[in-house]
């Protein structure tokens, strides 16, 4: 039985808590949240991490991004392993401090880029890595949702931290890095034309990878379309599933669409007709799988799928997209 604490039971913390409770191999050892109504009455509750007085093996940190580094450092000091939500930290220095503290403590810091635990993403990686479609050359990704205006009523989401870049595209950046390797070029253009908010609302980015591969990302949080990871896969209980593909990857011998995992192959040139092949795959809940993986890492039976070092690289690219797409006049 792995004893887990959770810090922060807001939007994503509630989901982690439900998955911990549903997993018979995990125990919810306690909940830390300064808001009393957010602490359930059936487990020990604390308003501050410093006041935790129950034994634990690990902690899930699902608090606002600027608190990720200080809470991680406090948790490592207590000897707990950490699963911290994305972004790993608010900047690269804070992320580095977490990496250094993890090395000193001998405890792991995992980061919540949970899509790597999605069975469809795992299969996509398998197909790309197998080379059956040849060498990946370019990819086009859409994340075009409309968030309700109330999403931005929470203080920390009002500025750049609430923009779809650090909140949403960071997941896509992590997936693209996982599939295609390191990013060596970032350029982009962004706008806040619809809400006029002090943050990026929409834009486009071009990523260049060390392999020569490119990916383009078109994004907006002001457009109610069927395209995006959550809508395509049905992964978020808050976003209805459309099942539509939002990512297309072109390779030297074919192509693949995601999340359908439909491949296109059999054409040598544009004179030939590419043929589709469908794939069926059993879906599973990536947040739940991520928690099981956390328990395996704590038990010493697995290495982190997303380490703090890895997530720092994803943050680095994401911050570059943020800088490239910040609308004129919007402060960092």
Ligand X SMILES: NC(=O)c1ccc[n+]([C@@H]2O[C@H](COP(=O)([O-])OP(=O)(O)OC[C@H]3O[C@@H](n4cnc5c(N)ncnc54)[C@H](O)[C@@H]3O)[C@@H](O)[C@H]2O)c1
User: Is residue 66 near ligand X by the rule CB under 6 A?
Assistant: no
Min separation Cβ 105 and ligand X, Å:
19
Candidate residues 26, 32, 109, 306; the one interacting with ligand X per rule CB under 6 A: 32
Quickly list H helices, 147-186. Answer: 164, 170-180
Nearer to ligand X, 39 or 213 (CB): 39
Residue pair 36/47 in contact by the 8 Å Cβ criterion? yes
Measured in degrees and rounded to the nearest 5, phi and psi for residue 282 equal -85, 125
Q: How far is the CB of 34 from ligand X (least distance, A)?
A: 5
Does 184 engage in binding with ligand X (CB under 6 A)?
no
Q: Is 196 exposed, middle or buried (0-12, 13-18, 19+ CB in 10 A)?
A: exposed
CB closer to ligand X, 34 vs 237: 34
Shortest gap between Cβ of 327 and ligand X (angstroms)?
Answer: 21
**Residue with the closest Cβ to ligand X?**
10
Alpha-carbon gap, residue 227 to 247, rounded angstroms: 9
CB closer to ligand X, 35 vs 299? 35
Residue span binding ligand X (CB under 6 A) among the ranges 19-27, 64-72, 271-279, 321-329: 64-72
Q: Which two tokens stand for residue 321?
A: 């997209």
Min CB(1)–ligand X separation in Å: 24
Name the 3-class secondary structure at 42: coil
| Smallest distance, ligand X to C-beta of residue 186, A | 20
Site for ligand X in 105-134 (CB under 6 A): 112, 114
Query: What are the backbone angles phi and psi of residue 191, rounded to the nearest 5°?
Result: -150, 155
Give CA–CA dist 312/109, Å, rounded. Answer: 12
Q: Is 33 in the site for ligand X (CB under 6 A)?
A: yes
The one among 22, 25, 154, 193 contacting ligand X by CB under 6 A? 154
Should residue 167 be labelled a site residue for ligand X when binding is judged by CB under 6 A?
yes
- Toward ligand X, which CB reaches closer, 12 or 197? 12
Question: Side-chain half-sphere of 127: how many Cα atoms within 13 Å?
Answer: 27
65 lies in the site for ligand X, by CB under 6 A = yes
Question: Should residue 64 be labelled a site residue for ligand X when binding is judged by CB under 6 A?
Answer: yes
31-39, 136-144, 250-258, 306-314 -> range binding ligand X (CB under 6 A) = 31-39
Backbone CA torsion sign across 294, 298, 304, 306: positive
**Residue in 21, 38, 123, 262 binding ligand X, rule: CB under 6 A:** 38
Q: Write out the E strands in the chain.
A: 2-7, 26-32, 45-46, 58-61, 81-84, 109-111, 136-144, 183-191, 202-209, 214-220, 247-251, 254-258, 263-265, 275-277
Distance, CA of 166 to CA of 160 (rounded, Å): 8
Shortest Cβ 196–ligand X spacing (Å): 23
Report the Cα 252 to chain-centroid distance in Å: 28
Cα 154 from chain centroid (whole Å): 20
Candidates 2-10, 16-24, 221-229, 242-250 — which segment interacts with ligand X by CB under 6 A? 2-10
Residue 10 or 40 having the CB closest to ligand X: 10
Cα four-point dihedral sign 145, 240, 154, 321: negative
User: Are residues 322 and 151 in contact, defined by beta-carbon separation less than 8 angstroms?
Assistant: no
Could you say which of 86, 108, 116, 326 contacts ligand X (CB under 6 A)? 86
Query: Which residues contribute to the site for ligand X (CB under 6 A)?
Result: 7-13, 32-35, 38, 62-65, 67, 71, 85-86, 112, 114, 154, 167
């Amino acid at each position: 039985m792995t004893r887990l604490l959770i810090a922060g039971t807001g939007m994503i913390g509630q989901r982690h808590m439900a998955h911990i409770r549903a997993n018979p191999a995990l125990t919810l050892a306690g909940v830390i949240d300064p808001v009393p109504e957010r602490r359930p009455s059936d487990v020990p509750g604390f308003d501050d991490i410093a006041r935790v007085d129950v034994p634990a093996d690990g902690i899930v940190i699902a608090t606002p991004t600027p608190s990720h580094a200080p809470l991680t450092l406090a948790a490592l000091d207590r000897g707990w392993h950490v699963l911290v939500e994305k972004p790993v930290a608010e900047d690269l220095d804070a992320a580095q401090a977490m990496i250094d503290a993890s090395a000193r403590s001998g405890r792991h810091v995992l980061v919540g880029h949970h899509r790597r635990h999605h069975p469809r993403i795992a299969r996509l990686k398998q197909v790309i890595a197998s080379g059956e479609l040849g060498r990946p050359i370019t990819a086009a990704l859409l994340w075009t949702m409309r968030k309700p205006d109330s999403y931005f009523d929470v203080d920390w989401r009002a500025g750049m931290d609430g923009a779809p870049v650090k909140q949403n595209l960071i997941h896509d950046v992590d997936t693209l890095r996982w599939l295609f390797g390191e990013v060596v070029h970032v350029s982009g253009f962004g706008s806040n034309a619809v809400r006029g908010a002090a943050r990026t609302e929409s834009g486009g980015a071009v990523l260049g990878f060390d392999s020569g591969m490119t990916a383009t990302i078109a994004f907006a949080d002001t457009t109610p379309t069927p395209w995006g990871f959550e809508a395509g896969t049905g992964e978020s209980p808050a976003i209805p599933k459309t099942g539509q593909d939002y990512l297309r990857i072109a390779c030297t011998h074919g192509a693949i669409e995601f999340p359908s995992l439909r491949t296109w192959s059999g054409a040598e040139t544009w004179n030939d007709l590419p043929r589709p092949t469908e794939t069926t795959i059993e879906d599973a809940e990536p947040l739940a799988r991520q928690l099981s993986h956390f328990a395996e890492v704590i038990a010493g039976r697995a290495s982190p799928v997303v380490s703090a070092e890895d997530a720092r690289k994803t943050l680095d690219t994401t911050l570059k997209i943020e800088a490239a797409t910040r609308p004129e006049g919007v402060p960092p």
